[in-house]
A = this chain, B = another copy of it.
Amino acid sequence: MPTFEVPNIAANTPLWLALVTTFVAAVSGAILGRQPGKVSYDIVGVTVFAFVLGLGGGITRDVLLGNLPPLALRSPWYVVTVLGAVITVLLIGRWIPVDGWTFILLDALALGLYAVIAAQLAVEFGLPDIGAITVGFLAAVTGGVLVSVLRGETPQILLPSQPYALLAVIGATIYVLLDAYSGGVAAFACLASVIVLRFVTLRWNLRTRSVRPLRPSEEGRAPEGSAPEGSAPEAD
């Protein structure tokens, strides 16, 4: 296989592709700011969520690697893209089909791209494989975790749910393993795996299971008959 012909999308990400995925992530963030709930956010809240979800991963990656100032601030286009996403959500937020296949596809592409770009850069900065996978994972999930923390919610990736963080780990692992053979093929395989796995988990509603608590739950024992599954009394 003429590996030299496959461009490495992780090492030389076209700017338009980076901006499209930033836009998608920032739109998701801004929409979180307009979600009905106990509190309503103001324009700063909506913008901060868009900023954190759109750029938080890349900034985390660059801080960890010492690649400073972060790319997201060195180029003006990333912040402009986030502001564009905020304006889009303010104007036509209700018509954005966030549950549609197109958006899910772009969101999975963003997930994979964050992971693979970060893993690639980490390899370039001399990190060992397992360090590069860790950076890829952190780049992919930190934005979402920070937004959850700002909203006072438990980050979804820590709870039983459709695997999302795991896809980033799998994608980064595939990239790192195949990179020695061909960076271009590795990046393509990473992105394809993340996207396919994302649709597979959605289609069959695959979910991670909760890890069984070490002891019966204190809360669960008090009101009789209401003990959750994982907290059944058992011999210690």
The residues of A with any CB-CB pair to B shorter than 8 Å are 31, 33-46, 48-49, 51, 59, 63-66, 68-70, 73-76, 79-80, 90, 93-94, 122, 125-131, 134-135, 145, 149-155, 157-161, 163, 165-166, 208-220, 228, 230-231, 236
B231 contacts A127, CB within 8 Å? Answer: no
Cross-chain contact of A213 among B34, B127, B149, B216 (Cβ < 8 A): B34
B70 contacts A37, CB within 8 Å? Answer: no
B residues near A41, Cβ cutoff 8 Å: 158-160, 210-211
Provide the bound-state CA to CA distance between A209 and B45, in Å: 11
A45 contacts B158, CB within 8 Å? Answer: yes
Closest B residue by C-beta to A38: B219
B40 contacts A213, CB within 8 Å? Answer: yes
Assess A125 versus B44: contact at CB under 8 Å? Given A36-B218, A80-B130.
no
